């Protein structure tokens, strides 16, 4: 299968690398020239606890150079999804399936503005990776061994799942995929802004009383909004699930924290911002989410004036 990876950061590189290693014809497309040049020159190096795997794949800053693909996986930041998919028109043919496993809310809706709904698949993944240097990523053990699961739904989901299983990924096709997406939002939407504001990794956020209380309050707000939308989540279960996930990644820094430290735009609008908008539309109060959304937005607008 010919696969396009739109966004060659950590997660795009991970999925593209696993697919290329399985023999799929993979093309990475990203405006990040250093990453594209490194993959073109040396291939993609995936590492995990000292083990290494190097794979070759196509790479370009120009979607037209990649050409039409059978499967397009969208891995750009959520705020760029609509523009990125529009620019990727040369990669999207009449049968192309477009898949989003991105963070936050609203990505499938942005994709459906450019691709028929029957060819859009979305979901969430338990796989993880981080960029070490251009052309090099560090992969979580679950992603390395195939022990972490990816969940997807929508028309065409079975075909996507079959392809990803062929690359060694554990897959589940779910009818209730929106519930899983909201579960992921409850996890990332709570931890990411709190960690970014106090500039601490997961473990220290979790094990500090004040920040742990914020995590729990935000989770309850997000679950309340999901419930108002008709998505059946339980707040106590969501909190326990989040804590279990955080405890497996105590040293991990959310990507939002890395973005703040680097002075980059974050995905706060697709996490807290989306929860605030949905809450307002449904009449559900979300004061903690609204406060943290405003604080992260303020940081983004004042990077240059911030005190070091």
- Using CA atoms, how far apart are residues 243 and 245, in angstroms rounded to an integer? 5
* Model confidence, pTM: 0.92
Structure tokens at 182: 């909201």
> Does the CA dihedral 135-140-145-147 come out positive or negative?
negative
pLDDT at 131: 92
Question: pLDDT tens digits for 55-64?
Answer: 999 999 999 9
Contacts of 76 (CB under 8 A, 6+ apart): 6, 7, 9, 12, 30, 84, 102
Instruction: Tell me the backbone φ, ψ of residue 209, rounded to 5 degrees.
Output: -55, -45
Contacts of 264 (CB under 8 A, 6+ apart): none
Please say whether the beta carbons of 107 and 11 come within 8 A.
no
Q: Regarding beta strands 2-6 and 25-29, do their DSSP bridges make them parallel or antiparallel, or are they unpaired?
A: parallel
Question: pLDDT tens digits for 9-63?
Answer: 999 999 999 999 999 999 999 999 999 999 999 999 999 999 999 999 999 999 9
- Using CA atoms, how far apart are residues 108 and 100, in angstroms rounded to an integer? 7
Question: pLDDT tens digits for 154-213?
Answer: 999 999 999 999 999 999 999 999 999 999 999 999 999 999 999 999 999 999 999 999
The whole-number average pLDDT for the span 266-271 is 96
Contacts of 1 (CB under 8 A, 6+ apart): 24, 25, 70, 71, 163
- Tell me the domains of the chain and their CATH numbers: 2-173 (3.40.50.720), 177-301 (1.10.1040.10)
| C-alpha to C-alpha distances, 54 to 1, 75, 167, 213, 236, nearest whole angstrom | 20, 21, 15, 43, 42
Helix (H) or strand (E) holding 132: strand 129-133
Q: Regarding beta strands 136-139 and 129-133, do their DSSP bridges make them parallel or antiparallel, or are they unpaired?
A: antiparallel
The whole-number average pLDDT for the span 68-80 is 97
- Using CA atoms, how far apart are residues 192 and 92, in angstroms rounded to an integer? 32
């Amino acid at each position: 299968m010919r696969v396009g990876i739109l966004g060659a950061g950590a997660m795009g590189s991970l999925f593209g690398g696993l697919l290329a290693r399985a023999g799929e014809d993979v093309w990475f497309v990203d405006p990040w020239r250093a990453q594209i040049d490194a993959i073109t020159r040396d291939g993609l190096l995936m590492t995990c606890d000292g083990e290494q795997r190097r794979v070759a794949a196509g790479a370009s800053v120009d979607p037209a150079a990649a050409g039409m693909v059978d499967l397009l996986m969208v891995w750009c930041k959520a705020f760029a999804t609509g523009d990125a998919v529009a620019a990727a028109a040369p990669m999207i043919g009449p049968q192309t399936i477009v898949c989003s496993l991105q963070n936050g809310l609203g990505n499938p809706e942005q994709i459906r503005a450019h691709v028929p709904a029957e060819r859009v698949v979305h979901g969430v993944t338990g796989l993880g990776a981080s960029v070490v240097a251009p052309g090099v990523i560090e992969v979580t053990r679950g992603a390395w061994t195939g022990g972490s699961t990816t969940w997807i739904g929508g028309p065409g989901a079975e075909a996507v799942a079959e392809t990803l299983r062929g690359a060694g990924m554990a897959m589940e096709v779910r009818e209730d995929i929106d519930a899983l997406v909201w579960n992921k939002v409850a996890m990332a939407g709570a931890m990411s802004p709190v960690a970014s504001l106090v500039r601490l990794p997961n473990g220290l956020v979790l094990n500090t009383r004040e920040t742990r209380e914020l995590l729990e309050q935000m989770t309850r707000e997000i679950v309340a909004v999901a419930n108002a939308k008709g998505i059946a989540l339980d707040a106590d279960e969501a909190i326990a699930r989040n804590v279990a996930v955080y405890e497996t990644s105590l040293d991990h820094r959310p990507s939002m924290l890395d973005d703040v430290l680097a002075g980059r735009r974050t995905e706060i609008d697709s996490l807290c911002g989306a929860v605030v908008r949905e809450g307002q539309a449904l009449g559900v109060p979300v004061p903690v989410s609204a406060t943290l959304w405003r604080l992260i937005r303020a940081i983004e607008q004042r990077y240059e004036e911030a005190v070091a």
